Structures are given as structure tokens and as C-alpha cells.
Structure 1
Amino acid sequence: MQGSIMRHVCIMAGTGAVGLMAVFGVDLLNYFYISHLNQPALTAAIAFATSLSYVQNSVALGLSIGLGAATGRLIGARKFTKARNQASAFLVLMVTITLTLGVTTALCAHWLLSLLGARGEALHQATSFLHVTSPALPLICLGMTLSSLLRAVGAAGRAMRVTLTGAAVTIILDPVLIFGLHLGLEGAAVSTVLARAAIVSSGFLNLRGYDLLAWPRRQLIMPAAQAVGRIALPAIATNLATPVGGLFVTRAMARFGLDAVSGLAVIDRMMPVAFSFVFALTGSVGPIISQNLGAEQHGRIKDAFLCALMLMGLCVGVAWVFFFTMQNLILHLFHVQGIGVMLVRMFCDWVVASYFFVGLLFVSNTAFNNLDCPLYSTGFNWGRATLGTIPFVMVGAHYGPAGVLTGQALGAVMSGSLAMMAALGVIRKLTSTDLQSSER
């Protein structure tokens, strides 16, 4: 709540980016190793399976965002005991929700994957993958939440170490399980679960000394659910929009064969790693905004938002240069074939620039979620997933797989621009209220 906003944002987002890079890098590593088996059905299978996993992870992320924002606001208001009790009680509810979701997804995996367009061996392998990973959803949710709590108390370095633990486990176990024990996609699934367990263990270890968790009390669970739920439920609804829109894109791309799905999968796994800094801004700027809101320092809220936009633009520019110059290496590393080659080249040449507008949407949603306007973020995200995706992709699909990517990019431009203008309006209203109060 004091000091340079830009420095605070850079430190929190920078360390958060390293951590998120590790989280998303797990999916990228899994895909990298599976692609070296040279079996298109396996690469398509992991693409289909993780499309559903992204929906699950969005629920987990929404819960962690809600708890992080609610806890950060209490810490900013110097209500440390209430923050500890609320966080501890909500963890019980969070584990229950995610366990139910994970088990249900595993039971319905074959049917859900069939709806996405998975067929034959790809359907069988994707179903087996989800049978292993889905019931472990509470682990990834706990990992996200513990990291979020560490960021809420300003322990950005410790939050980074939590997520790095999972990447280290994956780097070690993936080659052993996939190639050494010849388990293939099943080995990647087992490695994913073990990496999640390592992240949770690291999270609890790094939280020691902050006195932010206590033994949960039953009578506090419902009050915690109400307090956190006001932020978490809209955040879940908001975060669900992106993967749901992604499911529609995956289904549209499945019409063009396994190579097209595999090419889209390469893009979907490179993008989060390359844009980890942008995603980290949403997790890092949120506590900064909520703490300054709790301290009633509204001018610093606008500074934090503008700093986030500038840093996001810089990140997208650097990523564009990287993808444009490294596209041949990317095609070689992931053994991209057929139509997938054209899709990856198209992404590296210009589609990547559209993620500037995706970044506008994400940063704006963070402002909405932490400024008591969560329905705004829900509306804009679902607007992008529906009106900003479905009609554009449906029209684009008539022109082949390239049209699907183009439609997705155009929808992002529209949604991101509108969200940014709305976020600036919300912030301007806060600061104008301050000016009117001071004049009185």
C-alpha cells in the first residue's frame, strides 16, 4: 500500500510469471514428450483431454482468486485474525467442491470427449488420461490457493517456489514414466498427479511462519463461503468462459482431422507459457488493487491498472518477436505435421498479436473482480466466449482451419477493447468520488 506501484507490480508479476510458467510448462512438457512417440492419436488425445481439464482448472482458479482477493482485502484492513479463520474454513469447502467435480468428470469422460469430436484411439487414450488426472483436481486447486495466499501476504518468492516444485517433479518423472517404463500417455497422467501433490506439499511448507492457516472450525465454513463466494462465484463464471470457448474451437478444428487438432494443441500449450507474465498480472495486480481498496487509496488503484497494461503490452511484443523468429524450431521440436504446420506458422506470424487484446480482457477482469464489480468480468468473458467466438469461428470454419484461428482472433480484439474501456470507467468513478468527498 506504499512505495512504487510499478516496482510492486513488476516484483509480484515477475515472480508469479515464473511460477505460472512452471505450472503451464507441465502441460507443455507432457505434450512435448508425447509428441516424440510419433503417434498422432496420442497427441490428439492429450489435446482433447486437456481441453476438459482447462474447464476444471478454471473452477479451481476462480476459487483461489476469490480466496486470495478476500484475504488480501482483510489483510489490507489489518484484520489478520479474521483473514486466517476465513481462509482456513474455506479450504474445506473448496476441497469438497473440486473433488466432486473431478470425480464427476472422470465418470463422464468418454461421453464428454465424444461431444468434442474425439474418435477411435484418441478417444480411448483421452478417456484413460482423465480417469487418472480428474480425481486429483483438489490438488491443483489447493496448490493454486496456497500460492495465492502467499501472494496475498506479499511472499511472492515463496509463491514462486511452490509452483516451481511441480515443474521440477515433472521434468524428472515424465521421461522415466513415458519412455523408461513405456507407459506413454498413462505415464504423463501419473506424472501430472504426482507433480500436483508436490505443489501442495511445498505450499503448506512455505506457508509456515505466516500464521495464515489454522484448524478449520465448522461454524465458520458458511460465513467464509458467503464472504469468499461473493468474489469466487463470479470469478469461476468468468474463468469458465475462456475454456468453454476453447471447447467450441477444438470441436470446430476436429472437423479437419487429427493433425489440425494437434497443431491447435501446440498453440494452446505454448501460449500460456509464453504469456505467463500476462496471466501473472491477473493474480498479482488483484491483491494490490484489493489492498489499496481496503486502505481507501483509490488513486493507486488506477496506477496499478495502467502499469499492468503497459507491462502486458511489452510482454506481448516480446512474445511476438520470439514466435516469429523461432517458428521453424517449434515445428521441429513438436513434430507438427500436415495442416498443423500451417496453423502453427499462422499463429507465429500474426495471430499471436491478438493476445494483446486477450491481455486487455484479463487485466480488466482483475480490476472488476477486486473492485466489487465481478459481474462485469463475467459478462465480458462470456461475451468473448459466445458472441466473440461462436459466430466468428462458425463463419471462419467455412474457409478451413485457418478461418477458425482468424475468427478466434477477431473476437478477442472486440472483447478486449470493450472490457478495457469499461474498466477505466469503473476506476474513474472511484477516483471522481474521492475528489467530490475532498471538495466537501
Structure 2
Amino acid sequence: MALTDTGGSFTQGNLFRHISVMSFTSSIGLMAIFAVDLIDILFIAMLGREELAAAAGYASTIMFFASAINIGLSIAAGALVAQAEGRKDRAAAREAASATAVFAVAVGLLVPLLALPFVNEILGLVGADGAMRDMAATYLWIILPSTFVSGLSMVAVAVLRAYGDARGAMYPALLGAGVNLVLDPILIFSLNMGLEGAAVATVFARIATMALALGYAISRYQAFAKPHFACVARDCGGAIKIAAPAMLATVATPVGAAIVTREMAKYGADAVAGMAVINRLVPVVFSVVLALSGAIGPIFGQNFGAGRLDRVQETFFDGLKFLALYVLTMSALLFVLRGPIADLFDATGQMRSLLYLYLGPLALASFFNGAIFIANASFNNLGHPGYSTWINWARNTLGIWPFAVAFGMIWGAPGVLLGQALGGVVFAGVATWLSLRVIEAPCKDPLLGHFSCPDQRMQVVMNRCSRS
């Protein structure tokens, strides 16, 4: 089956255009989701209870762990399908998609079973206590059981991107955001469910997203093979080689967020509420940066699968150019609008100071986070996902905790934000250097020096499964 007219090949044409189209279409879906998340905070703030916003912030930190696992699985699906598509091996692409989807459902069912019995203790680790902890726990009891739904939808969207179907990957997220936007005021205000209503709305939105994403992937590409236990077992062994380090790498991000939240908690609920607003504002404004890794990954993967290393390197540099242009533009816009944005959230005192600090010079630091995202996409799609694990964990531990603590001791809550940004600059440089070494010789480990091509070993497994 050939690609439909909704998809396309990244092994031909202008790479900067491919990056722009994939990033903007991916970001539209992300922006819609995060915009609704931001509106959640506005609705909750309208209830007139500051502790509700702080509770939502604590719950979001924990939810990020579950989402990070799903993102890691979607990275594995996208990398394997894109490489197979670059080789024009549709059977291998279907097997990879099916194995990863089955694994996503299994993990998504396991996470709430392990986490919910200890939810109060987990929330305590990020600084939540008293009434705020109880409200956050109730929120998590509603939303965590839908983790497998979110995982399956993320895998399906990643598969669509791997086929070059930018629009098809965008629409499920838009649908989910629309469902959430409609249900939020009904459940929060009309039915007087408050924070719990926001959680229920999110669950329904996840179901809608999953249904449309799977529908597109199956109807347009027959993207999933019928799962058989023996076949999936063989495929999972190879898929986990990418999925496991990708999951570990992605989980590092909420670890960093938890460290920052815990440090902010030292300065009171006002500081935590300010951080909660920033954490929801950043994904909306810089959704293109957050989308860049998932958007550029299939471009790396298809060209690597086709043996076009010249285009792989060009993709990396064009990605950095695109990133710089976008961050500069949005940072300038945030600076101009910093007053109205702070007023929108009725921010005063320390909360307003934190918002002004981020909406000023610190917004530019998103470039360095984006550079790490591009580097990680190259690692995941060129057969070295372990490097994304090490880079992300180093950035979100060594690149946050000592800086946040040291600067916090000097400047308080604003120092925590400054320290977090400085750590990103350091590790962006490391990630860029290592990525260029990988692109230069993908089958050679740039640190250890030995030769290996994990994607070729994976293809042996896929072919064997497809012939069975």
C-alpha cells in the first residue's frame, strides 16, 4: 500500500519546510491541549480558593510522570515506523506499531495500580500537605486510571507523524481539546464539581483523542497488524530497546519539575501558584518548541532508514535555525505582553514577580531546551536512545538541583527559576556536541568507539515476525 495523499516522504524536498510544517501542525494540537489546561487553571481560580490552584499544580507534577512514560513509548513507535517507512518496508512498520501499542496499554494499566495506593506519600514527596494534598489526591484518583487511553492515542499520533501525515496527527489533539473545553465549564460550574470536574473532562477528552487517532491510523494506512502473542512478544523485545531508554529519558523531565516544585514550596503557596501558572503558560506559548522533538524525529528516521545521512545532518542544523527564529519572536511578544498576562491571573506580590521574571529574559532559555529536544530526537531515531536518557537525567538533576538550590539561597523563589535556566544552557551544549558526533557516524558509538547498528538488528526481528 502506497502512502496516501495525506502523508508524504521526508527523503525528498526542502528540509526546512518539512520541519516547519511538521512542527507547526504538531504544535497546533499541543497548543490546543495546553490552552485548555491553562483555561482549567483560570476556571479553578474563578472559584476563589487559592489552594485549589496549588493542588492542581501538585497533581500536574505527578501526572507528568505518567504522561512521560506514554511519550517515551510514542517516541519508540515513531522511530521504528519512520525507519521502516524510509526503507519502504510497510510490513515492518505495522509490526512495530502494533507491538508498541500493546506495550502502551499494558504499562498504562500498570501505572495507576502501582501509584494510586501510595498517592498521598507521592504527593508528599513534592511538598504537598494538608488540604492541598487531599484535593490533589482526589484529582489523581479520577485521571490516572485513564493512562492507558492516553498512551494508546499518543502511539497512534506518533505513527501518523512517522508516515508524514502532519494534518492527521493534528486533528485528534484538536478534538480532545474541544471536548475538554466544552465539558470544563459544565462540570466545574454547572454541576459544581470543582477540581474533580476538570479531571473528569480530561478523561473524556482523552477517550475522544484516542478514538480519532486510531481511526485515522487504521483507515489511512492500515497502520497496525493484528496482534498475535508470539509475534508481539518477539517485536516487543526489539521495541523496548528504544522504548525503555526513551521512557527513562522522558521521565527525567517531571523529575526536574518535581525538584523545582519542591524548591518553590519552601517559599509558600504564592510561589507554587506562580510556578503552576508558568508551567501551563510555557507549553501554550512554546508549543512549537515542545512539538519539535516529535515533529523532527520522523524526518531523522525516514532519512536514516533511506541511508541519507547528508539530509540527517541538514535536518539537525535546519532545526536549530527554525528554533532560534521561533524563540526570539515569541520571547519578544511575551515581554511586550507581560503586564496584561500577569493581570489575567490576578497575580500580585511574589507570584507577579515570578511571572515578570519568566516573561522577561528567561523566556529566551527555551532555545536551549529546544536544542536538547532536537538532539534527543536524533539519538532516538539514529539508534542511540541511551544518550537521550543520560542527557535528560543529567539536565534534570545535575542541571537543576544544585543550581536551583544555590540561586534560591541567594535570591529566593526567583533564584530557583534562574538556576533552572542556567543548567539548561550547559547541557544544551553537551547534547549538541554529542548529537553531531552521532550523525557523523550513526553505527559508531561516539563515546565508547565500538560499532553497532541497533536498527538493523531490529529489522531482522521485524522481518522474521512478518514472515511467520
| Category of TM-score, reference length = shorter chain | over 0.9
Q: Is the counterpart of residue 168 in structure 1 residue 178 in structure 2?
A: yes
Q: Which residue of 2 aligns with 1:258?
A: 269
TM-score, reference length from structure 2: 0.90
Distance (whole Å) between structure 2 residues aligned to residue 354 and residue 90 of structure 1: 33
Give runs of aligned pairs for residues 106-255 of structure 1, distance below 5 A.
106-207=116-217, 208-255=219-266
Verify: 1:410 aligned to 2:434, yes or no: no
Aligned to 1:296: 307
Q: 2:435 aligns with which of 414, 419, 423?
A: 423
- In structure 2, C-alpha distance between the alignment counterparts of 1:346 and 1:220, rounded to whole Å: 53
Q: Distance in 2 between matches of 1:256 and 1:103?
A: 33
The residue type equivalent to 1:194 in the other structure is F
The reply to whether residue 336 of structure 1 matches residue 347 of structure 2 is yes
* Contact preservation (8 Å) 2:331, 2:359: yes
2:290 to 256, 279, 294: 279
Secondary structure of the 2:441 match is helix
Q: Per-residue displacement from partner, 1:291-340 (whole Å, max 9, x unpaired)?
A: 11111010000111111111111111122112111112222222324311
Hey, what does 1:438 align to over in structure 2? none
Conserved? CA contact 1:262–1:336, under 8 Å: no
In the alignment, which of 78, 96, 111 is matched to residue 88 of structure 2? 78
Change (3 A) 1:281 1:374: same
Segment of structure 1 superposing worse, 393-402 or 102-111:
102-111
Alpha-carbon displacement from aligned partner over 1:256-293 (angstroms, at most 9, x marks no partner)? 11110000011111111111111222111111111111
Amino acid at match of 1:176: I
Structure 1 distance, partners of 2:94, 2:273, is 44
TM-score w.r.t. the length of structure 1 is: 0.95
Residue 281 of structure 2 corresponds to: 270
Letter in 2 for 1:250: T
Aligned residue type for 2:413:
P
Q: In terms of mean alpha carbon deviation, does 382-391 or 89-98 score higher? A: 89-98
Q: Percent identity?
A: 38
The equivalent position to 2:380 in structure 1, one of 366, 369, 382, is 369
Amino acid at match of 1:271: V
Distance in 2, matches of 1:104 and 1:25, equals 30
Aligned with residue 363 of structure 2, among 328, 334, 352: 352
Aligned residues: 433
Q: How big is the shift at 1:26?
A: 3.1
- Could you tell me how far apart the structure 2 residues matched to 1:229 and 1:89 are? 9
Classify the secondary structure of the residue corresponding to 2:206. helix
| 2:76/2:100 contact within 8 Å kept | no
Partners of 1:428 and 1:222 in 2: how far apart? 33
Separation in structure 2 between the aligned mates of residue 50 and residue 165 of structure 1, nearest angstrom: 21
**Maintained 8 Å contact 2:73/2:100:** no
- The Cα shift of 1:404 comes to 0.7
Deviation at 1:106, TM superposition (A): 2.2
**SS class of match (1:286):** helix
Partners in 1 of 2:101 and 2:155 — Cα distance?
8
Mapped partners of 1:280, 1:13: distance in 2:
6
- Bigger shift: residues 22-31 or 285-294: 22-31
- Backbone CA RMSD of aligned residues: 1.6
CA-to-partner distance for each residue in 1:380-429, whole Å, 9 max, x for gaps? Answer: 11111111111111112213101111111111111112211221222233
Q: Is the 8 A contact 1:86 1:220 kept in 2?
A: no
For structure 2, the residue ranges without an aligned partner over 5 or more in a row are 1-10, 445-468
Query: What SS class does the counterpart of residue 108 from structure 1 fall into?
Result: helix
